[in-house]
Amino acid sequence: MNASFHPLMQRLKDSQESLTHKEWLLSEFIAHNPRKVVFMTIKDLSRAGGASEATVVRFVRRLGYSGYNQFKQDLRDFVDTEMTLVDRMDLQRVAESRTGRVQQVVQESLANLQHFLKSFDHEAYEASIRAMESAARVYVSGSRLSFAPAYYLGWGLSKIRPDVHIIKGSDSTCLDWLVNAPERSLVVIVSTARYPNELNRLGKSARRWGHSLLILADGSLCPLLGIADIGLAVASKNIPTYGDLTILNALIRSMLLELADRLGNTGSDLQSRLEQTYLENDIFFNLT
């Protein structure tokens, strides 16, 4: 793993000289075994690292964390961002039966949603809604895994407010769209680990051309969060094998409902015109 730019690994490095011997042993164990530690309780880590549970608690506080759970979340983000698909397959912990597998996925999704509610950033959420409501034009983009929630967001927005465009981050023509976009358009980028560079370039270009940038990410290590006007990170509690869009989809759905409620008659008028167009062009299956 490349730990050079990760805040947690940098904290471990910077604290070396001030650590006690037991804390130094913990630091070394964490630095060399992050994929193991991310699944460990305080008791597990104390045994594996050769220190008492009290030492583990003091150690994570010395690193600047309020508690062990905050430390674990930071470590989880690091592991999730750095892991390859092969690595993720190695971490699979699924039951052999199909019933067990379904149960595990549902339980993980529920745990992720509960974790999301506990760590939810209400201020960033409110700022995101205001930005999507007030912008003259909105561009929504994603790539690879994140294109699915990005498309969902763009599709939903187009039913609520006018002048919404979905652009695919992996298509170089998305740069053309932003070059020709009206000044201070809102660019919304949805990015998931492992944070594709094509989206990173798109976000940097959007800022360079003077557009507002809203980032929805599934972890705090998304590089675009550092340059965004508004950044909303909604990390999962678990490390998914093929990605987990549970939280992002719930977040986007709540945003669409909130925005539709605020726009009121404006959104209703747009929806009425859309429904008339659907009917005139026989877009959807009709029982009658």
Residues 141/172, Cβ–Cβ less than 8 Å: no
pLDDT at 122: 95
Non-local (6+) Cβ contacts of 13 within 8 A are none
Alpha-carbon gap, residue 277 to 155, rounded angstroms? 16
List Cα–Cα distances, 263 to 12, 249, 283, in angstroms.
Answer: 48, 21, 26
Q: Are the beta carbons of 68 and 57 closer than 8 angstroms?
A: yes
Residues contacting residue 245 through CB under 8 Å, at least 6 positions apart:
145, 148, 149, 192
Q: pLDDT at residue 56 above 70? A: yes
**Which residue would you say has higher pLDDT here, 113 or 76?**
113
The model's pTM is: 0.77
Asked which of 50-54, 121-125, 145-149, 227-231 is least confident by mean pLDDT, the reply is 50-54
> Which of the four pLDDT bands, split at 50, 70 and 90, describes residue 35?
confident
pLDDT at 261 over 70: yes
197: confidence class by pLDDT, cuts 50, 70, 90: very high
Angle between helices 246-263 and 122-134 (to 10 degrees): 50
pLDDT at residue number 221: 82
125-170 pLDDT per residue, tens: 999 999 999 999 999 999 999 999 999 999 999 999 999 999 999 9
CA atoms within 13 A on the CB side of 150: 28
Percent of the chain past pLDDT 90, that is, above it, reads 50
Among 260, 229, 9, which Cα is nearest to 133's?
260
Determine which of 2-16, 97-111, 191-205 has the lowest per-residue pLDDT on average: 2-16
Query: How much is the average pLDDT of 64-80?
Result: 84
The mean of the pLDDT values for the chain is 87
Q: In CATH terms, is domain 122-280 a member of 3.40.50.10490?
A: yes
Domain coordinates of the chain in residue numbers? 7-82, 92-118, 122-280
Residue 94's pLDDT is what? 40
pLDDT tens digits, residue range 152-163?
A: 999 999 999 999
Using CA atoms, how far residue 53 sits from 31, 45, 49, 277, in Å, is 18, 8, 10, 65
Q: Identify whether the C-beta of residue 137 lies closer than 8 Å to the C-beta of residue 163.
A: yes
Residues 6+ apart with CB under 8 A from 203: 187, 189, 213, 215, 224, 227, 228
Q: CATH number of the domain at 7-82, out of 1.20.1090.10, 3.40.50.2000, 1.10.10.10, 3.40.50.300?
A: 1.10.10.10
Q: What is the DSSP string of 153-205?
A: HHHHHHTTSSSEEEEETTSTHHHHHHHTSPTT-EEEEEE-TT--HHHHHHHHH
The pLDDT score that the predictor gives to residue 38 is: 83
Q: What is the DSSP letter of 91?
A: T
Distance CA 97, CA 112 (A): 23
